[in-house]
Structure 1
Amino acid sequence: MKKHIYIYSPSSAVRDKASFKRGLKKLSAMGYEVEVDEAALTTHQRFAGDDKTRLAAIHRAASSGADIALISRGGYGLTRILPDIDYRAVANAISKGTQFVGFSDFTAFQLAVLAKTGAVTWAGPSLGEDFGAADGADDIMEACFDDLVTGQGEGSGWQLPKSAGKLVNDIKSNENTIIAESIHNISNSILWGGNLSMLTSLVGTPYMPVVKNGILFIEDVGEHPYKVERMLAQLLQAGILAQQKAIIFGQFSNYKLVPHDKGYKLASVVAWLKSNVKGLVLTGLPFGHIATKVLLPVGLSVTLAVEKRDAFLLWGHQH
């Protein structure tokens, strides 16, 4: 039996109809049964329909019985409808096997589901930007998605950048402690996070999960490093970062440095963060607004293993 994928639009309106169609064609070519929500291409202002329309789409996705509920795109729109989502229905759908997949604005939904129900969703691709990419879907993203659909996924690995902080700061290490000589293993920690702007916007609301001894992963797009630092400072001062065993930087893309920065860049933010937290800080995770993205379980207990420059997030023992 073909795996069933349900496409819906909970955030911004689909403007790029060509990528939407390419995405549908790609998923069908991969052997999936693809169902498109009745309001997937609806437009109201900048949104994929008014609030009631998008809420109804989420609830249809939850009742679809699909193996995967995949967003058409991110953008903006979920934050304003978080109070009206039927979280019990979403959690029930997840318990019956529907995996909710997306990223960017979808982070708000994922963290709200985690906060309200403890259910696991998946940080991963969207239809248009990823499966409908003009130059074709990325092979690694496609393989990771297929692993999720078939229940084969057991983890993700990546190589830490040479330039991104050779210093390990798990015990406030001195400058002679080099990551290439280090072995770390953090087990039974909840993996959570996503888009940093969306995550920060939930601080102080009922939709921000309380995760202690967790592993937080973050990414963003179009945000200058000083804005990234400002958001991290808010999370730090709110006491959230001190509760994490590790913080993992995904990809921060499409921003522009200016002469005024005088050498201040994303690496400066990473160094600043390392000097202010006790947990492990890693970079280079292949996730964010980029073509090559892995899929990550939001809310699942995982193991983080680091040896020299090789890093792994493992959940096969839990999934």
Structure 2
Amino acid sequence: MIYPPYLKAGDKIAIVSPAGKVNPEIVKHGSKRLREEGFEVEIGENAFAQSGVFAGTDAERAADMQKVLDDESVKAIIFARGGYGSLRTHQLLDWSKFLQHPKWIVGFSDITVFHAFLYLNGVASVHGVMPAFFDQDGVPSESFRLTIELLKGKIPWFKEVNHPLNRGGEALGKLIGGNLSIVYSLRGTPFDLSPEGNILFIEDLSEYLYHLDRMMMNLKISGVLEQLSGLVVGHFADMKDGDTAYGKEPAEVIREAVDEYRYPVMFGFPAGHVMPNYPLIMGAQTQLIVGEKESRLNFQL
């Protein structure tokens, strides 16, 4: 796995919008936070464009992203937001120059598309905060601080109190996954999961419980779940029930899907669509330890 160069003061970070339309004020405030950290910031020319639910047309979004992928003066790309549209944007991109000179990309949710592509091409990336998550209660969030520290080369390690549905054990493997709905949508495409021996991270937002079960059953019946070495479950926020109650909580749905396997399972990892949203290095060799009282997630770069 290739780990892009870490950042230093004065380096340029680009903010582009490859998916959903954005609130310009949130992005402008986010750029201010990055400048306070000592970085130069470039916002894509079309970052605030709008075309239906998208941040401009497919061509406009791709033009901004292509520019920063190719620009060697840009040392990291932080996406303005997720939403929907990354896969459409991706179809218009040429990654050849980027893959010759990789840089960190940062984002989550719909950005899982790019994490999947980069993993398959041997480049690590950061599942981490975008501008709407830079602040909490009017000050820089801990999630933002940890993400910036990671980009500067301080690798985080995490220790969490155990969830009652955890399954104990130790695992070592590359970290894959991201937003479960996007992972599910990529099944059968060139960006499908490579599960064998790896640790899968999943999170999601505002899905019906029956659809969560549908996605987990897809991963189970297709053989993905049985090939894993470990599972890390992040936030499943604002999940919805139907007129007839499904009868299980999100964690119960997920645990049931992996009950027959023996690898460690960690619930409640603080990453996803609500705070805290801690940074994860996708593609990194990762150690997962689920003990009786606490769980640990360590990156072994």
* Structure 1 residues 1-319: aligned runs within 5 Å: 1-14=9-22, 16-64=23-71, 65-94=73-102, 98-115=103-120, 117-127=121-131, 129-131=132-134, 135-136=137-138, 139-161=141-163, 164-165=164-165, 168=167, 179=168, 184-187=169-172, 189-257=173-241, 260-261=244-245, 263-315=247-299, 317-318=300-301
Return the letter of the residue paired with 2:170. N
Structure 1 residue 24: deviation in Å?
1.8
Structure 1 residue 37: deviation in Å?
1.4
Structure 1 segments (4+ residues) deviating >6 Å: none
Tell me, in whole angstroms, the C-alpha distance in 2 between the residues paired with 1:86 and 1:149. Answer: 24
Single out whichever of 251-260 and 194-203 deviates more from structure 2: 251-260
Tell me, in whole angstroms, the C-alpha distance in 1 between the residues paired with 2:32 and 2:118. Answer: 30
Tell me, in whole angstroms, the C-alpha distance in 1 between the residues paired with 2:207 and 2:139. Answer: 25
Kept in 1: contact 2:125–2:281 (CA 8 A): yes
Give 5+ residue unaligned stretches, structure 2: 1-8
Kept in 2: contact 1:3–1:149 (CA 8 A): no
Structure 1 residue 19: deviation in Å?
1.7
Q: 1:259 to 1:45 in 2, by over 3 A?
A: closer
Q: Secondary structure at the match of 2:109?
A: coil
Aligned to 1:173: none
Aligned residues: 292
Given the two structures, how large is their TM-score scaled by the length of structure 1?
A: 0.85
Q: Secondary structure at the match of 2:14?
A: strand
Return the letter of the residue paired with 2:38. G
Kept in 1: contact 2:289–2:297 (CA 8 A): yes
Structure 1 residue 157: deviation in Å?
2.9
Kept in 2: contact 1:125–1:141 (CA 8 A): yes
Given the two structures, how large is their TM-score scaled by the length of structure 2?
A: 0.89
Structure 1 residue 76: deviation in Å?
0.2
Kept in 2: contact 1:19–1:132 (CA 8 A): no
Kept in 2: contact 1:20–1:72 (CA 8 A): yes
Kept in 2: contact 1:67–1:149 (CA 8 A): no
Kept in 1: contact 2:110–2:179 (CA 8 A): yes
Partner deviation per Cα, 1:8-56 (whole Å, 9 max, x = no partner): 1111111x22222221222222332211111111122221121122222
Kept in 2: contact 1:158–1:310 (CA 8 A): yes
Return the letter of the residue paired with 1:61. V
Structure 1 residue 287: deviation in Å?
0.4
- Root-mean-square deviation (Å): 2.0
Structure 1 residue 256: deviation in Å?
3.3
Return the letter of the residue paired with 1:142. F
Give 5+ residue unaligned stretches, structure 1: 169-178
Structure 1 residue 70: deviation in Å?
0.2
